[in-house]
């Protein structure tokens, strides 16, 4: 996606007018959205969300900062994937590193990860919110690479995860059975209730609309 650039800002689109002056929504390289006067972009007065000035102040005070988004959630995602894949003490290592899942060489550098994934991240956050934006591998057995990763909702992520346990549903009337991986999909397929399937699987109820459910041990 191409967005016109002004310093650190990239222009997304018009955002109303104030006193006949057009205002514009922009994304800053630091990850913040900012609304600025359109003419200030063109006359060069506005070149960041304000982070340029702040960083200049920090530089004078505490020395240099490399990329300015060290503590953002986006950076946390990047640190998280490296931990899962390479730190045997990480809680999720057995689902990633131990299964041979790697982070591609290019993404061992944060700035490369940022270049490949940050704009898509910002746009998805704008549309769906940051809480519902997680990094998802399209092929669950594949590595963390630009080709195999996308930003998706937490729901998609859970659906794709190895943590989900396969189960079988059996219709008592005729003994017909079908395997399921995601309760909500199974519920949709047969017109059942997602939460009732879950409570059958957890043993809180025995049947739901004439179906029995049990986990398949794999
Ligand atoms: Zn900024």
> Is 113 part of any domain?
yes
22 C-beta neighbours (distance < 10 Å), count? 12
Same domain, 21 and 50: yes
Expressed in angstroms and rounded, the spacing between residue 7 Cα and the centre of ligand 1 is 10
Cα angle: 80, vertex 183, 171; to 5 degrees? 155
124 C-beta neighbours (distance < 10 Å), count? 19
Residue-level pLDDT at 63: 42
Expressed in angstroms and rounded, the spacing between residue 70 Cα and the centre of ligand 1 is 13
Expressed in angstroms and rounded, the spacing between residue 65 Cα and the centre of ligand 1 is 13
Same domain, 83 and 107: yes
Expressed in angstroms and rounded, the spacing between residue 19 Cα and the centre of ligand 1 is 25
Expressed in angstroms and rounded, the spacing between residue 53 Cα and the centre of ligand 1 is 9
Same domain, 91 and 128: yes
The pLDDT tens digits for 49-106 are 988 877 766 655 544 444 455 557 888 999 999 999 999 899 888 889 888 899 999 9
Highest mean pLDDT range out of 163-172, 192-201, 206-215? 206-215
Domain ends where: 160, 186, 206? 160
Expressed in angstroms and rounded, the spacing between residue 30 Cα and the centre of ligand 1 is 4
The pLDDT tens digits for 130-145 are 788 889 998 888 899 9
Same domain, 92 and 118: yes
Domain ends where: 144, 160, 176? 160
Same domain, 91 and 152: yes
Is residue 146 within 8 A of residue 153, CB to CB? The reply is no
Same domain, 107 and 150: yes
Model confidence pTM above 0.75: no
Within 63-151, where are the H helices?
73-86, 110-128
Domain, as residue range, for 97: 73-160
């Amino acid at each position: 996606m191409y967005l016109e650039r002004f310093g650190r800002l990239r222009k997304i689109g018009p955002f109303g007018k104030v006193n006949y002056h057009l205002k514009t929504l922009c994304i800053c390289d630091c990850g913040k959205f900012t609304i600025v006067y359109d003419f200030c972009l063109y006359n060069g007065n506005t070149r960041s969300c304000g982070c340029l000035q702040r960083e200049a102040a920090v530089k004078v005070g505490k020395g240099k900062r490399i990329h300015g988004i060290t503590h953002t959630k986006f950076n946390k995602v990047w640190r998280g994937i490296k931990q899962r894949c390479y730190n045997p003490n990480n809680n999720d290592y057995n689902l990633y590193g131990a299964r041979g899942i790697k982070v591609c060489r290019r993404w061992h550098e944060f700035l490369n990860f940022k270049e490949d994934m940050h704009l898509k991240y910002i746009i998805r956050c704008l549309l769906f919110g940051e809480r519902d934006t997680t990094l998802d591998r399209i092929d669950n057995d594949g590595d963390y690479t630009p080709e195999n990763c996308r930003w998706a909702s937490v729901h998609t992520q859970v659906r794709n995860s190895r943590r989900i346990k396969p189960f079988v549903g059996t219709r008592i009337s005729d003994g017909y059975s079908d395997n399921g991986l995601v309760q909500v999909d199974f519920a949709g397929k047969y017109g059942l209730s997602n939460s009732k399937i879950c409570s059958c699987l957890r043993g809180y109820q025995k049947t739901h609309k004439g179906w029995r459910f049990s986990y398949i041990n794999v």
